Chain A
Amino acid sequence: MTAIVGAAETERIGVVPDISALEMHAQSARLAVADAGLKMSDIDGVAAAGLSPIAVAHYLGIAPTYMDATAVGGCSFLVHVRHAAAAISAGLADVVLITHGESGRSRTGAPPRAPDPASPQGQFEAPYGTLGPPTMFPMGVLRYMKEFGLTHEQLASVAVAQRRWAANVPRAMFREPITVDDVLASRMIAYPMHLLECCLVTDGGGALVVTSAERARAMPGPKPPVYVLGTGEAAETPMVSMMEDFTTSKAFRLSSARAFAEAGIGPDDVDHLMIYDAFAHLPIYGLEDLGFVGRGEAGAFIAEGNTSPGGRLPMNTNGGGLSYTHTGMYGMFLVQEAVRQLRGEAAAQVPDVDISLAQGVGGMFMAAGTLALGTAAAAGA
């Protein structure tokens, strides 16, 4: 078994134009290594997305003998943890550092993001005016509404629920309480999605340190290890228009099923849940695709407060991409919050969290990564 022994976000998140994307990787890496009670020289594996792990490793003075440049969108870091767990178990690496850094808002030292007109997306989607995630990600929402009767008010309640969590999170970008009416009165971005149903665009970074449970026991750091109970990854399509069914994510289903099976748990065992919320409909799809509720039930489930503070399934307790932060590849922050909740050090701490599940998405429902994480009690360690 493997464990996350170090975790940290950049000192500042939100609007940070004075720090480049690369420095975001590096700063969070140094903080995560210190959080683990380790030295940079203990790191023999590096994984990164957005920028090359070669660039990150060299910047930090590491010559890694394990590297993972898996870049499948915002879930890349969850997939990195999965690959690191396998590599460590196979003896390919001892201590793997996973980094994220993105100047998503300020674009300081950020790589360009222009679609190639000869790619499938460039030939079969871009000519129709796809310009960034808001013009693609919500493509299935109207279909979902027609199939299952989801209302605009229920969709808006996702943003309301997450703002309730953010109210207790000092680092969240938006903390003022909002109502369903506020959401529906906000500017239309891509019908049926209003501004407050779309994620933030921010700067920030985060890093994780993963090692074997044996090493974590032999050389304990200052924080309790967070154990990797089960993992999953999956890909569906490079183009949102090619989704098999616009009311469900095949990648969510495949990836989460692997993680649940590997961990030997089911939805009822999960104390705390993070579902990547680039837009308000993702937690709805996620709750259903992961099996927490039945098909067509997630909108009412969220609107009734079940995922809000005090509800029976605490979800996106940092405020999520809608209220906390969203650098572009937000998945790193899912894992950071899951680790904080399992360590008992979250800003909006949920009582008695032994198992946390983090569900990431890559691109526009293109890929997915899932981590089931647990305390020593949950891991039997």
Chain B
Amino acid sequence: MSTTGDTRPRTVPKPAPRPTPDTAPYWEGTARGELRIQRCNSCARSYFYPRPYCPHCSSDDVSWITAAGRGRLHTYLISHRPAPGFGEVPYAIAVVELEEGPRMMANLVGVENTPEALVLDMPLEVDFEERGDQSVPVFRPAGSAS
């Protein structure tokens, strides 16, 4: 029973990330609609998640690059349990393999989150969604942007 007279549905927000100094360039990028990853200048490999040292060769000579935003659906699951901000509808949690090599977790938008619609290795492209004050990368089927 409401005592405020406010009858608007109360929506619980989806969990929001809190950037740290080492990850700030990533989140500054997503705020501008860019997916930034890091590339090692010593071994020429790209990596995710953000850290100032290459996980492949330990070099600290690394640069931020803007990824092409293209990838493939590497694997996923579909959670059927309600989660804060995700409501009652089953939703997919996926791992996307970027064209540059690294993989990252993401949600899948612009496509039904069903086993029939989500086919492993299908081509995807990046999009962005709000989480609190931050913008997080999500992926949609390639060519599906409206």
Contacts and interface: CB of A to CB of B under 8 A. Distances in A.
A128 B93 contact: yes
Given A135-B93, A246-B95, A129 B107 contact: yes
A142 B75 contact: yes
Contacts of A139: 75-77, 93, 95
Given A129-B86, A135-B93, A246-B95, A124 B79 contact: no
B16 interface: yes
A193 B93 CA distance: 14
A190 B79 contact: yes
B70 interface: no
Contacts of A267: none
Interface stretch (A115-123, A311-319, A323-331, A345-353): A115-123
B90 A241 contact: no
A127 B27 CA distance: 13
A261 interface: no
B81 interface: yes
Contacts of B94: 128
B41 to A, nearest CB: 22
A58 interface: no
A140 B93 CA distance: 11
Contact of B17 (A123, A141, A191): A123
B19 A124 contact: no
Interface in B95-124: 95, 103-107, 115, 120
Interface string A95-137: 0000000000000000000010110101111111111101110
Interface residues of A, number: 36
B107 to A, nearest CB: 5
A50 interface: no
A296 B76 CA distance: 19
A145 to B, nearest CB: 9
Interface residues of B, number: 38
A238 to B, nearest CB: 10
A130 B93 contact: yes
Given A117-B17, A139-B77, A123 B49 contact: yes
A149 interface: no
A190 B74 contact: no
A363 interface: no
Nearest to B75: A143
A107 B66 CA distance: 45
A126 B15 CA distance: 6
A20 to B, nearest CB: 27
A126 B79 contact: no
A146 B120 contact: yes
A277 B103 CA distance: 26
Contact of A242 (B49, B84, B90): B49
A132 B83 CA distance: 10
A129 B85 contact: yes
Nearest to B55: A242
Interface in A188-242: 188-193, 239, 241-242
B17 A124 contact: yes
B75 A190 contact: no
A140 B76 CA distance: 7
A189 B80 contact: yes
A124 B22 CA distance: 13
A146 B76 CA distance: 12
Contact of A241 (B79, B105, B107): B105
Nearest to B95: A241
Given A128-B107, A129-B83, A130-B93, A123 B18 contact: yes
A127 to B, nearest CB: 5
Given A141-B77, A188-B80, A127 B14 contact: yes
Contacts of B84: 131
Contact of A127 (B15, B80, B81): B15
Contact of A118 (B18, B79, B80, B93): B18
Nearest to B130: A127
A132 B74 CA distance: 21
A360 interface: no
Contacts of B76: 139, 142
12 contacts: A117-B16, A120-B49, A122-B17, A124-B104, A125-B105, A127-B15, A129-B79, A129-B83, A135-B93, A138-B77, A190-B78, A241-B104
Interface of A: 115, 117-118, 120, 122-132, 134-136, 138-143, 146, 187-193, 239, 241-242, 246
